[in-house]
Amino acid sequence: MNGIHDMGGMHGFGAVDRRSDEVLFPEAWQGRVCALAGYAMGAGLANIDAFRHAIERMPPDRYLSDGYYGRWLYALETLARERLGGDTTPERPEIGSVTREVNREPRFAVGDPVRTWNRHPQGHTRLPGYARDRRGVIADIHPACVYPDTNADGRGESPEYLYTVAFESRELWGEEAEAGATVYIDLFEPYLEALE
C-alpha cells in the first residue's frame, strides 16, 4: 500500500542522530512488546506478513509518533481485535523456513534487464514506491519464498522466486541522483517484467 511506512526517498526527516542508540529497550514495555509479538506470531495470531501489514495500516500520524515498538504494540492490538474476538483461538501454525520448493525454474537469469511493474496495491507488498516502474538488472537469484503480497491477507503462500535487482541511482532519482551509487532491492518475480 502507498503508506507512510514506504519511506525510501522521502524528504523532511532531518539528520540521522547516531548518538541516541545505546540502550536496547529504554522503557521496559518495549522489551515486553518485542517478546510478545514474537510469541504471539509463533502461536498463530498472525503470520509475519500480516503483522507487517497491520503496522502499515496504522494512521500515518500514529506511525510517526508511536515509535518502533509502539508500532508493534499498535499492530498487536489491531490483530487481537480482528482475530481474537469471541472464543476462538488460532491454530498453531507450523514454524519453519520461509523458503519453498517450486516446480519451475526462475524466469530470469543474472544479468537480465528488467522493469518493475507499476501497481499500487492496497495490500501488503515489498516493492518500494521509489522503485516502481523502474529499469534494473538481475544481480542475484534466491530460493522461492512465501509471497508476502498474498500471505499477508490470507490468500495463501503462493511462493515466488526472489531476486536482488540492481538499480542505477540515476534511474531512481533522476538528474539529481548522486553519482556512482547503485541501489540493490530484493524483489519477487511477479513485480518484474523482461526488458529487451
Partner 1 sequence: MTAHHRHGSESPAIRTEAIETLLVEKGLVQSAAVDALVERYEQDIGPLRGARVVAEAWTDPAFRARLLQDGMPAIRELGFGDNTDSHVARLMVKENTESVHNLVVCTLCSCYPWAVLGLPPAWYKSPAYRSRAVREPRRLLAELGLDLLPDVELRVWDSSAEVRYMVLPQRPQGTDGLDAEELTARVTRDSMIGVERL
User: Measured between alpha carbons, how far is 20 from 125 in angstroms, rounded to an integer?
Assistant: 31
Count of residues that interact with partner 1, criterion CB under 8 A: 84
Site for partner 1 in 86-125 (CB under 8 A): 89-90, 95-99
Asked if residue 31 binds partner 1 (CB under 8 A), the reply is yes
Q: Which is nearer to partner 1, 83 or 196 (CB)?
A: 83
**Cβ–Cβ < 8 Å for 123, 49:** no
Asked if residue 25 binds partner 1 (CB under 8 A), the reply is yes
Q: How far is the CB of 80 from partner 1 (least distance, A)?
A: 6
**Cβ–Cβ < 8 Å for 128, 8:** yes
**Cβ–Cβ < 8 Å for 28, 21:** no
Helical packing angle, 28-42 and 68-83, nearest 10°: 40
Q: How far is the CB of 95 from partner 1 (least distance, A)?
A: 6
Characterise 60 by phi-psi region: left (phi > 0), alpha (psi -120 to 50), beta (else): alpha
Asked if residue 13 binds partner 1 (CB under 8 A), the reply is yes
Among positions 109, 181, 194, 195, the unique one binding partner 1 when judged by CB under 8 A: 181
Among positions 2, 65, 77, 155, the unique one binding partner 1 when judged by CB under 8 A: 77
Among positions 44, 123, 168, 190, the unique one binding partner 1 when judged by CB under 8 A: 44
**Cβ–Cβ < 8 Å for 112, 138:** yes
